[in-house]
Each structure stands twice: as structure tokens, then as C-alpha cells.
Amino acid sequence: MNNEQLKARILSFEPSAEITEGLQYLTATIASDKLYALARNLRQSNDTAFDYLFCLTGMDYGDSLGVIYYLESTILNHQLVLKTVCPDKEKPVLDTVCDIWKTAEFLEREVFDLLGINFNNHPDMRRIFLDEEWVGYPLRKDYSDNNTIVR
């Protein structure tokens, strides 16, 4: 599918999606409560068939936290970037996509560990790199640690 067709298809799944032509990939920004349904549709529908999540990254935008999903279809060979933002920075919560793409289980644990975003329905929401007793989320912009971070 080319970008135009893909755009139309995403809008047919979710009319509220905001779609921009990014520098490299088509980018769809979507509200956090609509994300799971759209992701499942993109995975299951035969004409989109996004079966490979090649990157999942958490973001601290300063006033909000979000997650970016890089998707590819190994069958149709097209790519898409999904973006979402947690509505509440104090209690950031998103729905997990690890039942759609299994690789998300570890990647979401990493985001939880370093940015403190909780994922609903995740089977094993624990820290992955840091100790269970670690206080704070190091990749957040307001994280401070006088011993290890030199300003």
C-alpha cells in the first residue's frame, strides 16, 4: 500500500486519527484510549497486516509522556509510525499491545522501568533493568541524581 491508501485505511478504522507525512514514515497520532483497537485492526486486517513491531520507544515531551510504535508489514512491505500520549502525567497509563506483538512485552517493561508508564493488562509489569527498590524513572527529564548525572 502506498501512503495515500494507507492514510485512507487508517481513517476508516479510526476517523479521529491525525495523520502526517513524517520525514521518513507516515505518522498517525491517536488518543490513548483508541490506540489498542486501531493497533489490533492494523495487525489483523489483510490489507494492512502490520505484523512486525520493530521499535517501541517511550518519550518524555516535558509536559506529557508518550509512546511511539514503529510498525512494518513483512508481507506488504510498508511502514507506519503510531504515536500516542498519556492524558495524565501524574498517573501515566496506556493499554498494552503485547497480545498483538509479543515483542512488546519486554519493550513495554523497559518503558515502565525507565519512564514510569504503566501498561494495562500487561502480564508482568515489573522493572527490567533497575532494582525493584529504585526510586524514580531515570529517562524522565525531571529526574535528578547528584551522584551519577553531571549537569
Partner 1 sequence: MAEFIQDIQQDEYLINMGPQHPSTHGVLRLVLSLKGETVMSVQPHCGYIHRGIEKMCERLTYPQIIHLTDRLDYLSAHINNHAVCMAVEGAMGVEIPERVKYIRTIMDELARIASHQLWWCSFGMDLGALTAFFYGLRDREPILDIFEESTGGRLIQSYYTPGGLMKDIHPGFQKRVKDFIKYFRKKIHEYDTLLSGNVIMMERTKGIGKLSKEDAISFGVTGPSGRGSGFACDVRKHHPYAAYDKVEFNEVLRAEGDSFARYSVRMDEMKESMNIIEQLIDNIPEGDFAVKMKPVIKLPEGEYYQRVEAARGEFGVFIHSKGEKYPYRFKLRSPNFSNLSALHTIAHGQKIADLVAIGASLDYVIPDIDR
Non-local CB neighbours of 107 within 8 Å, separated by 6+ positions: 53, 56
CB 112 within 8 A of CB 125: yes
Q: Is 135 in the site for partner 1 (CB under 8 A)?
A: no
User: Which positions from 71 through 130 interact with partner 1, judged by CB under 8 A?
Assistant: 74, 77, 101-103, 105-107, 110, 114, 128-130
Which residue from 54, 94, 91 is spatially nearest to 72, judged by alpha carbons? 54
- Measured in residues, the chain has a length of 151
**In this chain, which of 2, 15, 24, 63 binds partner 1, going by CB under 8 A?**
24
Q: Is 51 in the site for partner 1 (CB under 8 A)?
A: yes
Q: Is 59 in the site for partner 1 (CB under 8 A)?
A: yes
In one-letter notation, the amino acid at residue 53 is L
Minimum Å distance from CB 25 to partner 1?
7
**In this chain, which of 1, 31, 68, 76 binds partner 1, going by CB under 8 A?**
68
The CA-CA-CA angle for residues 35, 38, 40, to 5°, reads 105
Minimum Å distance from CB 22 to partner 1?
7
Minimum Å distance from CB 108 to partner 1?
11
Percent helix, strand, coil in the chain, to 5, is 25, 25, 50
CA–CA dist 146, 96 (Å, integer) = 33
Applying CB under 8 A, the residues found at the interface with partner 1 are: 22-25, 51-55, 57, 59-60, 68, 70, 74, 77, 101-103, 105-107, 110, 114, 128-130, 132, 138-139, 148-150
